[in-house]
């Protein structure tokens, strides 16, 4: 039989022998090791109470609290604004000037003063806010519409500040409380119901600070970085064109970038220059870009001023003193700073932050100084708690404060510090939270959130009665739709009566001289008028009236200037002045309101 060439299959007995040998070669697994692997067990059912606990913890998560805070602040802001919105035009001269300049732009007359006897290029107010007014006027808005636009800006500012404060603290409770204080602040609500530049400035400056906080987090110059850089620079320039004090914001951004750049170079000083520049590229690119962008955007305004021969009106006003004199030496400037510092500390800051009632006719008493010291200490403590990324808030607030200390003390009101009121409130609350934390640590109280709760209670204790009174007073004043003798000062009512008489009894093309051409323009239907010097001799007054071709003169007792300038001129030259109208004597020996004819 021939072999097949295939290997014969092993017998069955041989296979069993090999399998048994292999099993014996493997070490036996201990019984304990087999029991180490746990058997799968069914998950126990979660009781109903545990489910509710989980749902509650989810309900109180930070993101949801953040959104709830926005909703509550929105409701509070809109409610307070609608209750305090005043339909009457604010009689501040700046307020009406902005409206008239906006009308001039909307009518195609350029940036021109149209209330005076001669229409001339304007240079006193920056053109940013009048440009916004012109857009509203072109869209069909009147005085009420322009005022409401400022309300929209205020609402948006509160939302931006809410996000800015949260990015700074990462504490939704502090963020909510501070923003609520901003939304209910009487000074800010008042500015939001007028045609003034404070609220648009607050909007753009807050947005610049928020975008800048994002910009500082960028580590490379990518598309996001460039968009944030452009947005920050554009908002800063817009703020400057709305209010010249915006220079403090621009300098704050530049100072922050310069400080961080120096710190970065020092930290990497042992590296090669190329490595140092590469590491700090986002900082030095932003520094150069912000400074260059600002100077480039500022150039058209400077060129226009040079073309018309204008000088900075704000710089010319800086040295003014009560009585018309000017500061001429260092001691005068030192006195100015001392006067402003004392007044801001005891009047504007308590009134602007805590809505405390103040009397500018009386010097501050011990109670006012005690409250002032507490507020300033809290603000200082809050400033010390700022981190490196929050340096812009310190530079901007400090720079604005320095400008206000040098500003002429003949003008004073919390509205001058309105754009930094939110930041001062933020620093004050942060300082109080830290003080409360230290106090609770001494008392060995470890309750979570107790420091924030204590700080809120302290602020609320001082703020509630003042805020309730201020907001209720504003709401009561807003109920009347026009100025009358019943709801305004008698001198104002008489002045408005004089304007109405001139409007109804004199030719439309006749020129009028009055202390407040802005109010005359508004209530006379847009008629032109001229003002007169606050301090002048009778000869200078007659010459001024002759040169301006004035035919009628309004003498009011609302301001004292007409009685110290026009009356002496009328007494010295009785043949040049004739009484056409006067108010009945309101009380014995009280000054009257007159309409005179000048020939």
Residue 96: strand, helix, or coil: helix
Round to whole Å and give the CA distance between 498 and 519: 12
What's the DSSP call for residue 555? E
Please indicate whether residue 407 or residue 590 has the higher confidence score (pLDDT).
407
Q: Tell me the mean pLDDT in the region 500-528.
A: 92
Q: Are residues 426 and 473 in the same domain?
A: yes
Residue 189 — pLDDT band, cuts 50, 70, 90? very high
Residue 552: strand, helix, or coil: strand
Residue 59 — pLDDT band, cuts 50, 70, 90? very low
Contacts of 2 (CB under 8 A, 6+ apart): none
State which of 445, 477, 509 marks the end of a domain. 477
Closest CA to 229 of 244, 208, 250: 208
Q: Are residues 551 and 497 in the same domain?
A: yes
- 390-422 burial, b if ≥16 CB within 10 A, otherwise e? bbbbbbbbebbbeebbebbbeebebbbbbbbbb
Q: Are residues 451 and 539 in the same domain?
A: no
State the chain's mean pLDDT as an integer. Answer: 86
In a domain, 111, yes or no: no
Q: How far is CA 415 from the centre of its chain?
A: 10
Q: What is the pLDDT of residue 23?
A: 47
Residue with tokens 């059912």: 45
In a domain, 39, yes or no: no
The beta strand positions in 223-364, using DSSP E, are: none
The pLDDT tens digits for 334-370 are: 998 999 999 999 999 999 999 988 888 888 899 999 9
The pLDDT tens digits for 529-543 are: 999 888 889 999 999
Integer-rounded Cα Rg, in Å, for the chain is: 35
Q: Are residues 462 and 537 in the same domain?
A: no
140 in the Ramachandran plot: left (φ > 0), alpha (ψ -120 to 50) or beta? left
In a domain, 294, yes or no: no
In a domain, 381, yes or no: yes
Q: Are residues 452 and 335 in the same domain?
A: yes
Total domains in the chain come to 2
Q: Are residues 448 and 551 in the same domain?
A: no
State which of 413, 446, 477 marks the end of a domain. 477
Contacts of 589 (CB under 8 A, 6+ apart): none
User: Which tokens in the block code for residue 537?
Assistant: 């001799």
Q: Are residues 348 and 445 in the same domain?
A: yes
Q: How many residues does the chain have?
A: 599
User: Which tokens in the block code for residue 141?
Assistant: 């808005």
The pLDDT tens digits for 445-478 are: 887 788 888 888 888 888 888 888 888 888 888 8
Domain residues for the domain of 378 are 325-389+402-477
pLDDT above 50 (res 441): yes
In a domain, 498, yes or no: yes
Q: Tell me the mean pLDDT in the region 214-235.
A: 95
Cβ count within 10 A of residue 444: 6
pLDDT above 60 (res 426): yes
Containing 262, the helix (H) or strand (E) segment is helix 247-267
Q: Are residues 439 and 494 in the same domain?
A: no
The pLDDT tens digits for 236-284 are: 999 999 999 999 999 999 999 999 999 999 998 888 888 888 889 999 9
Q: What is the pLDDT of residue 56?
A: 35
Residue 82 — pLDDT band, cuts 50, 70, 90? very high
What's the CATH number where 569 sits? 3.40.190
Q: What is the pLDDT of residue 537?
A: 92
Contacts 24+ apart (CB under 8 A), 97-100: 97/124, 97/125, 97/518, 98/125, 98/129, 98/130, 98/133, 98/195, 98/196, 98/197, 99/133, 99/143, 99/146, 99/195, 99/522, 100/518, 100/521
DSSP string, 333-345: HHHHHHHHHHHII
Least confident of 86-90, 340-344, 552-556: 86-90
State which of 430, 446, 477 marks the end of a domain. 477
The pLDDT tens digits for 116-156 are: 888 899 988 999 999 999 999 999 999 999 999 999 999 99
Q: Are residues 431 and 505 in the same domain?
A: no
Q: Are residues 517 and 557 in the same domain?
A: yes
Q: Are 418 and 187 in contact (CB under 8 A)?
A: yes
Q: Are residues 463 and 524 in the same domain?
A: no
Q: What is the pLDDT of residue 5?
A: 46
Q: Are residues 532 and 461 in the same domain?
A: no
CB-neighbour burial class of residue 6 (10 A; exposed 0-12, middle 13-18, buried 19+): exposed
In a domain, 532, yes or no: yes
Contacts 24+ apart (CB under 8 A), 316-321: 317/408, 318/406, 318/407, 318/408, 319/408, 320/408, 320/410, 321/408, 321/409, 321/410
Containing 352, the helix (H) or strand (E) segment is helix 349-354
In a domain, 197, yes or no: no
359 in the Ramachandran plot: left (φ > 0), alpha (ψ -120 to 50) or beta? beta
% of the chain beyond a pLDDT of 70: 87
Please indicate whether residue 23 or residue 99 has the higher confidence score (pLDDT).
99
In a domain, 374, yes or no: yes
């Amino acid at each position: 039989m021939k072999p097949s060439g295939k290997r014969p299959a092993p017998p069955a007995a041989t296979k069993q022998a090999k399998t048994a040998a292999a099993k014996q070669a493997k070490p036996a697994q201990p019984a304990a090791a087999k029991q180490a692997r746990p058997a799968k067990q069914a998950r126990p059912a979660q009781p109903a109470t545990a489910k509710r606990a989980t749902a509650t913890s989810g309900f109180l998560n930070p993101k949801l609290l953040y959104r709830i805070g926005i909703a509550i602040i929105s409701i509070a802001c809109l409610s307070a604004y609608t209750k305090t919105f005043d339909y009457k035009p604010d009689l501040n001269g700046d307020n009406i000037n902005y409206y008239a300049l906006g009308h001039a732009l909307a009518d195609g007359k350029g940036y021109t003063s149209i209330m005076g006897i001669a229409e001339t290029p304007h240079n006193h107010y920056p053109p940013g806010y009048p440009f916004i007014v012109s857009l509203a006027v072109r869209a069909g808005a009147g005085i009420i519409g322009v005022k409401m636009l400022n309300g929209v800006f205020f609402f948006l500012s509160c939302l931006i500040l809410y996000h800015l404060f949260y990015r700074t603290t990462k504490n939704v409770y502090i963020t909510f409380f501070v923003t609520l204080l901003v939304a209910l602040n009487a000074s800010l609500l008042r500015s939001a119901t007028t045609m003034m530049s404070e609220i648009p400035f607050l909007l753009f400056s807050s947005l610049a600070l928020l975008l800048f906080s994002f910009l500082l987090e960028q580590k490379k110059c990518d598309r996001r970085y460039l968009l944030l850089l452009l947005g920050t620079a554009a908002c800063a320039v817009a703020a400057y064109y709305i209010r010249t004090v915006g220079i403090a914001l621009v300098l704050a951004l530049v100072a922050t970038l310069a400080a961080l750049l120096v710190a970065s170079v020092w930290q990497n000083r042992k590296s090669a220059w190329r490595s140092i520049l590469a590491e700090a590229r986002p900082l030095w690119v932003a520094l150069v870009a912000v400074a260059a962008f600002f100077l480039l955007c500022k150039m058209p305004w400077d060129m226009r001023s040079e073309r018309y021969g204008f000088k900075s009106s704000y710089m010319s006003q800086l040295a003014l003193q009560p009585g018309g004199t000017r500061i001429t030496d260092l001691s005068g400037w030192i006195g100015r700073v001392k006067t402003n510092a004392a007044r801001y500390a005891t009047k504007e800051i308590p009134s602007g932050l805590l809505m405390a009632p103040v009397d500018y006719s009386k010097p501050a008493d011990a109670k006012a100084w005690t409250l002032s010291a507490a507020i300033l200490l809290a603000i200082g403590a809050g400033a010390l708690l700022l981190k490196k990324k929050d340096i812009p808030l310190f530079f901007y607030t400090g720079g604005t404060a320095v400008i206000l200390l040098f500003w002429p003390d003949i003008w004073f009101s919390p509205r001058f510090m309105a754009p930094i009121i939110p930041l001062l409130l933020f620093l004050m609350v942060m300082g109080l939270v830290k003080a409360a934390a230290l106090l609770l640590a001494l008392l060995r109280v470890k309750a979570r959130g107790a420091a924030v709760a204590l700080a809120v209670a302290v602020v609320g204790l001082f703020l509630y009665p003042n805020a309730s009174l201020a907001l209720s007073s504003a709401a009561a004043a807003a109920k009347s739709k026009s100025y009358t003798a019943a709801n305004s000062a008698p001198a104002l009512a008489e002045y408005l009566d004089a304007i109405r008489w001139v409007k109804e009894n004199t030719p439309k093309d006749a020129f009028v001289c009055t202390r407040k051409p802005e109010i005359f323009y508004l209530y006379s239907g847009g008629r032109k008028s001229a003002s007169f010097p606050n301090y002048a001799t009778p000869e200078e007054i007659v010459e001024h009236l002759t040169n301006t071709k004035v035919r009628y003169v309004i003498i009011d007792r609302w301001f004292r200037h007409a009685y110290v300038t026009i009356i002496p001129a009328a007494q010295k030259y009785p043949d040049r002045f004739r009484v056409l109208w006067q108010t009945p004597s309101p009380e014995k020996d009280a000054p009257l309101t007159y309409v005179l004819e000048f020939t």
